A and B are shown apart, each in its own frame.
Chain A
Amino acid sequence: MTARTITYRDAVYEALREALRGDERVFLMGEDVGYYGGAYACSKGLIQEFGEERIRDTPLSESGFVGAGIGAALGGMRPIVEIMTVNFSLLALDQIVNNAATLRHMSGGQLSVPLVIRMATGAGRQLAAQHSHSLECWFAHVPGIKVVAPATIEDARGMLSTALADPDPVIIFEHATLYNEQGELPETDDYAKDIESARISRTGGDITLITYGGSLQKAMAAAEDLAKDGVDCEVIDLRSLRPVDDATIMASLAKTHRAVIVDEGWRSVGLAAEISARISEQAFFDLDGPVARVCSAEVPIPYPRHLEMAATPQPDKIAAAAREVLRR
């Protein structure tokens, strides 16, 4: 099987292009997605290929254009709305939570909102408090929407088409530090990946590291480090944050009996807390120790590099937590 080496950004671009070519109802809408080529250069060249009708630059009106995306989906189109980052999505939360998530239910099942929202997320580039949020958990809290976090190039390439085929709203979180990452994409006839299962990124028997998105690479690095000390980690890439793939998590815990959850959101009231509660409910008697969490510190993300690193999960902190759980 042949494979190409491409970047995460290239994978997103290819997914967008394939979607636009495959279905006339699909269009991309957002700030600077057209002539600028996308804030992260993911849509460079698309407006030249597909025109202004299908690649729409919007004013700075998040609430307006996200709501318009919802309406367009109701009206028969298949919009991909790009919110530049999760930080600006706060301006559109009303539309997402009060409209996109609820219309099916409020209408007694009559209305469907086949909308895809893509947003960049996360910290790590010294962009300070207002540009570094990881708010995936807010969205994963809301029934009516689906939330995914492609952490690999295969998922960046493959989740979009599945999301577009879904009759319900799907939010795709792309961690901003992943765009430059290079990796192998095996050639295939069908790149589609599911949007509901977790994936074992690394098999192991001693302890399970559970994570998603931008933290996957950090967890894998921690696993490498721990392997030198004879600790064999299993690493789970959640991939889907709503719904969560409980079965994969619990099967792993039946094997390893120990878990560390790595989540770039703040520690309190977050995704890691949710996973931990599920483990407590479903795998309590398999546990040989409390479930640990490695999350961001309880502070808005600071600008200086050393403080930003100290505030966010890092491979050494993940490895240290694992050692604590293993009582070594």
Chain B
Amino acid sequence: MSEFRMPSLGADMESGRLVEWLKSPGTEVERGDIIAVVDTQKGAIEIEVFEDGVLEEILAEPGEEIPVGRTLAYIRAPGEPAREQRAAEKPKPESEAETPHTPSTAKPTPSATAYPPRTPGVHMTPAARRLIAEHQVDPSTLKVGPDGVIGLSEVKAAIGAAPTPLEARPKSKARGIDPGEMRRAIAAAMMRANHEIPHYYVTLTIDMTRMMNWLAARNAERAIEDRLLYAAPLLRAVALSFAKFPDLNGTLENGAFVPADRVNIGMAIAVRGCGLITPAILDADRHDIDTLMTKLNDLVKRARGGGLRSSELSMGTATLTNLGDRTADGLMPIIFPPQVAIVGCGQISERPWVVEGEVVARQLMEITFAGDHRASDGRRGAQFLSHLASLLGKPEGL
């Protein structure tokens, strides 16, 4: 019993619509007999059988669209005994001509690769050069890629920005940040941080009573818009602490810690639609509290209004995240790679404390330092917090 299949009649014939059978089951057929008519995009074509025999069973009905290679009927060879009618068989796959996909083990021909071989040496792309100029990157800090190229990704790594594949920015007059893109970038960075960085945490509860009293006294003499929030002295104290602990202020690249020569503290700011972004206040250790307050206000405004500069987003050397009032007591912050440290502050709340053997109500704040264990260890983090606590305890010294 042999199968009569829908023939291929042309290079672009994928299927045909059966119009009619010209022979009925039980009829004898001879090689060359026209057995059916099939409709194609070019018109109706007669199809023939290539063997002698008896048309045993037809499987397709007029009107059906049948792919090339599918069985249309069975033909019993002369002398073969008749068989019981069988149920329509599952369609067989098209009988493809045997085309071996001999995987080429030889070298691909030059036309098969995208580029001709490059001359040896280091090459810098035009886009990379432009980015270097824009950010005033010191070319000696650039790492060359394994293929000998310095491209956008190498420059971004040097700048400190997470080299996200997406750089699409809407072309707007104000060089603003696209919130959707920011969120994705942050998410990517956080996933990476969580995955790659071995965090350790140390926590200290700090008595902020003196600080708050000192602030209240200073603010009493000021107009509302000039008043200081505790975020400003907190920032200064944190910045000075990082200046004192240079092994915690910098970035981790290719497994090696690179200390930064500036203290740029990233401030975690909540922006609707973006989540938390961390633009940096550059040289935070060099500014007094008032200047820092102004900068903070300006930063928050621009962060929420879409006016941040890319350098602010990419040049942080450590980060401070301050939950603020009426939030939570403490947090376990996640480091923003490629930084190696982050300081997280809970709310200031009035709690019982022990001073000189007496239980008293004090303004307390829980600060958690998270460090990258590849760059430092818990003892170092603890020392950092201890120093920070002493600075915050003497606000007039800030």
Contacts and interface: CB of A to CB of B under 8 A. Distances in A.
Q: Do chains A and B touch in the complex (CB under 8 A)?
A: yes
Interface of A: 7, 9, 37, 41, 44, 125-127, 176-177, 179-180, 205-206, 230-232, 254-257, 260, 267, 284-290, 292-295, 297-298, 304-306, 317, 320-321, 324-325, 327
B12 A285 contact: no
A80 B344 CA distance: 74
Nearest to B130: A285
A28 B16 CA distance: 28
Given A231-B165, A306-B99, A288 B127 contact: yes
6 contacts: A7-B41, A37-B43, A41-B43, A177-B12, A205-B165, A289-B149
Contact of A286 (B11, B115, B126, B171): B126
B97 A297 contact: no
Contacts of A125: 11-12
A255 B165 CA distance: 11
Contact of B14 (A37, A180, A290, A293): A180
What is the interface of chain B mostly: helix, strand, loop, or mixed? loop
Contact of A320 (B14, B114, B145): B114
Contacts of B130: 285
A126 B113 contact: no
B147 A321 contact: no
A321 B151 contact: no
Nearest to A308: B99
Nearest to B13: A180
B128 to A, nearest CB: 7
B244 to A, nearest CB: 40
A305 B109 contact: no
B126 A287 contact: yes
B111 interface: yes
Contacts of A180: 12, 14, 41
Contacts of A317: 112
Contacts of B41: 7, 9, 41, 179-180
Nearest to B166: A205
Contact of A257 (B11, B97, B101, B152): B152
Given A126-B11, A324-B113, A41 B127 contact: no
Contacts of B165: 205-206, 230-232
B100 interface: yes
A205 B185 CA distance: 13
B42 interface: yes
Contact of B99 (A205, A289, A304): A304
A205 to B, nearest CB: 4
B163 to A, nearest CB: 12
B167 interface: yes
Contacts of A256: 168
Contacts of B153: 327
A327 B114 contact: no
A284 B126 contact: yes
A284 B129 CA distance: 11
Contact of B12 (A44, A179, A288, A320): A179
B12 A325 contact: no
